[in-house]
């Protein structure tokens, strides 16, 4: 094989293991050609050696060396994908989803999604939850209007804390009602960048959006 930065180590010329994938080369006795069966592991936690996909097969290799080269290239592609910097979209999507998961899991753990009289899961009223979000925005406005410090977290202004409360409620709402908030958030950012009525020249016109 050609020299690589990181070579797969082959056991008995037939099996190789990486943190991402396990490879096994077999020879078809009828055709004389080689095939590779390979299992992908969980790439989020590659040290967890548990196959998360069904075995896959690459076929038609004339030589053992050709099969090994294919496995080496496959491994290097996995390695590059593992270390490449995430895109802005991936960063934003993952960040929003993390906030959704954090806020909803805490709310659920504290019983806000449980019927306290029966212990059964509670179907929250969407309208009620939306108005509670609005109430946090109204309190943030009041804090801004009067220049108030927050009662519970006096190191912050009331505007800061009530805005945080609004976000916590939004993320909890999204998690509890299975909204596709993370993807919608990124798609809406992209859409707004290209909206005609958001262009500065159109906002300056009569009837344009001034705020």
User: Token match 């805005």: residue?
Assistant: 163
pTM: 0.64
Q: What Cα–Cα distance (Å) separates residue 128 from each residue in 20, 29, 125, 135, 179?
A: 46, 68, 5, 10, 17
Residue 13 gets the label, from left (phi > 0), alpha (psi -120 to 50) or beta, of left
What was the pLDDT predicted at 68? 92
User: Token match 């519970």: residue?
Assistant: 152
Helices (H) then strands (E): counts for the chain: 6, 5
Q: What kind and span of H or E run contains 95? A: helix 88-109
Structural contact between residues 113 and 121, judged by C-beta atoms closer than 8 angstroms: yes
Separation CA 3–CA 86 (nearest Å): 28
Q: For residue 99, how many other CB atoms are within 10 A of its CB?
A: 19
Q: What is the DSSP letter of 156?
A: S
Pairing of strands 15-17, 10-11: antiparallel
Per residue of the chain (211 residues), give pLDDT as tens: 444 457 888 988 899 888 778 899 999 888 889 989 888 765 444 444 454 567 778 888 899 999 999 999 888 887 887 777 788 998 999 899 999 999 999 999 999 999 999 999 889 999 999 999 999 999 999 999 999 999 999 999 999 999 999 999 999 999 999 999 999 999 999 999 998 988 889 889 999 888 8
Separation CA 15–CA 21 (nearest Å): 11
């Amino acid at each position: 094989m050609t020299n690589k930065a990181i070579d797969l180590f082959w056991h008995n010329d037939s099996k190789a293991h990486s943190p991402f994938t396990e490879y096994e080369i077999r020879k078809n006795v009828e055709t004389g050609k080689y095939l590779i069966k390979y299992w992908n592991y969980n790439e989020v936690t590659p040290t967890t050696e548990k196959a998360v996909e069904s075995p896959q097969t690459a076929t038609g290799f004339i030589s053992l060396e050709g099969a090994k080269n294919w496995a080496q290239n496959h491994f290097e592609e996995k390695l590059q994908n593992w270390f490449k910097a995430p895109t802005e979209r991936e960063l934003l999507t993952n960040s929003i989803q993390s906030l959704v998961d954090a806020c909803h899991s805490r709310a659920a753990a504290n019983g806000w999604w449980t019927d306290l009289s029966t212990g059964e899961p509670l179907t929250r009223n969407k309208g009620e939850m939306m108005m509670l979000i609005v109430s946090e925005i109204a309190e943030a406005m009041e804090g801004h209007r009067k220049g108030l410090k927050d009662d519970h977290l006096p190191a912050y202004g009331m505007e800061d804390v009530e805005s945080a409360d609004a976000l916590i409620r939004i993320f909890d709402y999204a998690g509890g009602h299975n909204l596709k908030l993370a993807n919608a958030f990124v798609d809406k950012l992209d859409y707004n960048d290209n909206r005609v009525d958001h262009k500065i020249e159109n906002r300056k016109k009569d009837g344009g959006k001034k705020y």
